[in-house]
Amino acid sequence: AGKTTTIKMLTTLLRPTEGEAKICGYDVVKQPSQVRRVIGVVFQDPALDDRLTGWENLDFHARLYGLGRREREERIEEVLRLVGLIEWADELVENYSGGMKRRLEIARGLIHWPKVLFLDEPTLGLDVQTRRAIWEYILALNRREGVTVFLTTHYMEEADYLSHRVAIIDHGRILAVDEPRNLKDMIGGDVVIVGCSDPRPLAEELRRQSWVKGVEARGGELSICVDHGEKKIPEIIMIAERLGVSVDSVLLRKPTLEDVYLRFTGRRIREETVDIVEKMRNRAMRRWRR
């Protein structure tokens, strides 16, 4: 989609082919050194030394930023407490779980008091419980450190929960930018989820109805965007019965960011997720073979 490429350009690792971008007033092409001094970055691929402890990893990076001994010790303890790893400070990173490593990476990105922290897919590949924990740490650092967080994700619930503003990118183009609430309001109304054996004839008929805003058929499920969904459910069921379509289940909910993504791109985010996870597996296999 262009999310990682965008971060690479904004963090001065990739020169833009055209256009202009500034971070804290500094041009990413003309003033890369100034940009790097005010940003922290956590990429998808791990950049920790497993043979060092958590404390030693942070100490190494703090030295690279020129922090003095006393300043380093105070800051390392501060960021380790922020991400809940102070009790694991002297443990080798190879013994950390995946979630702990991500938290340590975030701590490393904060070591030099950046004004902007870039997080590229910070919870990719983590289980749901660990992902939720990472969310809370991200919110905490935003509140306590006062740092702006620029985050990429393909988890729509993550974007909804963490972001003040969301940009939807598809094939390198920004299709929409706004607060999550405003983006969902663009869809409007309700989403009726109908479970049935063959949704295709029902989908075709519903698309002819003036009161239907949108219809998506996937597997044995039909997603229908309408106003006043609770009043339209009986009508939907009547149409299904007339067509001889057996309805197994009906669910009513409000639009989500995934519905917004579908509206702008024509596909669900899950279709991208499969490709991303497969790329992660391939990278892991290449590292293992080495």
- CATH number of domain containing 203: 3.30.70.100
Q: What pLDDT score does 86 carry?
A: 96
End residue of a domain, out of 152, 176, 204: 152
Q: What pLDDT score does 13 carry?
A: 95
133 and 236, same domain (yes or no): no
23 and 142, same domain (yes or no): yes
End residue of a domain, out of 98, 133, 152: 152
End residue of a domain, out of 107, 129, 152: 152
Q: Is residue 72 part of a domain?
A: yes
Domain count, the chain: 2
| The pair of three-digit structure tokens given for residue 6, joined into one six-digit string | 């965008």
Backbone angles phi, psi at 28, to 5 degrees: -70, -20
78 and 20, same domain (yes or no): yes
**CATH assignment of the domain containing 29:** 3.40.50.300
Closest among 152, 125, 247 to 194, alpha carbons compared = 247
pTM confidence score: 0.79
Q: What pLDDT score does 125 carry?
A: 82
Helix (H/G/I), strand (E/B), else coil: 274: helix
Q: What pLDDT score does 270 carry?
A: 53
217 and 138, same domain (yes or no): no
**Ordered per-residue pLDDT tens for the chain, 290 residues:** 688 899 999 999 999 999 999 999 999 999 999 999 999 999 888 889 999 999 999 999 999 999 999 999 999 999 999 899 999 999 999 999 999 999 999 999 999 999 999 999 998 888 888 889 889 989 988 888 889 999 999 899 999 999 999 999 988 889 999 999 999 988 878 999 999 988 999 999 999 999 998 898 888 899 999 999 999 999 999 999 999 999 999 999 999 998 888 888 876 655 555 455 555 555 555 555 55
69 and 137, same domain (yes or no): yes
Q: Is residue 175 part of a domain?
A: no
d(CA 222, CA 16): 42
Q: What pLDDT score does 93 carry?
A: 97
147 and 201, same domain (yes or no): no
7 and 70, same domain (yes or no): yes
Q: Is residue 139 part of a domain?
A: yes
Question: Which parts of 83-156 are beta strand (E)?
Answer: 116-120, 148-152
Q: What pLDDT score does 140 carry?
A: 86
Residue numbers of the domain that contains 227: 189-254
d(CA 147, CA 138): 10
Q: What pLDDT score does 141 carry?
A: 82
Q: What pLDDT score does 7 carry?
A: 94
Q: Is residue 46 part of a domain?
A: yes
146 and 193, same domain (yes or no): no
145 and 197, same domain (yes or no): no
Q: Is residue 232 part of a domain?
A: yes
Q: DSSP for 40-85?
A: EEE-SS----TTSBHHHHHHHHHHHTT--HHHHHHHHHHHHHHTT-
32 and 138, same domain (yes or no): yes
209 and 99, same domain (yes or no): no
Q: Is residue 183 part of a domain?
A: no
Q: Is residue 283 part of a domain?
A: no
Q: Is residue 174 part of a domain?
A: no
